[in-house]
Homo-oligomer: A and B are copies of this chain.
């Protein structure tokens, strides 16, 4: 029954990587908490780099500086 939300910047995450995240998080909840995988929900949000800030700056700006 757990619900997991993963937020990352939208920078080319592939369907295969998303599948790995979904499987990996679900397995983790089964192993650590004994949760039922059938009702474990994982939602991935991909956020534009203009819309994600860290250290007071948008990731778009950080990427231009090579960070």
Whether B55 and A51, one on each chain, are in contact in the complex, defined by CB atoms closer than 8 angstroms, is no
Whether B24 and A41, one on each chain, are in contact in the complex, defined by CB atoms closer than 8 angstroms, is no
Chain A: how many interface residues by the 8 Å CB criterion?
51
Partner of A58, one of B3, B19, B25, B45: B19
Whether B26 and A53, one on each chain, are in contact in the complex, defined by CB atoms closer than 8 angstroms, is yes
Partner of A3, one of B20, B22, B38, B41: B41
Known: A24-B32, A52-B41, A57-B22. Is A6-B2 also a contact (CB below 8 A)? yes
- Bound Cα distance A24, B23 (Å): 13
Task: List residues of chain A with CB under 8 Å of any chain B CB.
Answer: 1-9, 13, 15, 17-29, 31-33, 35, 37-47, 50-61
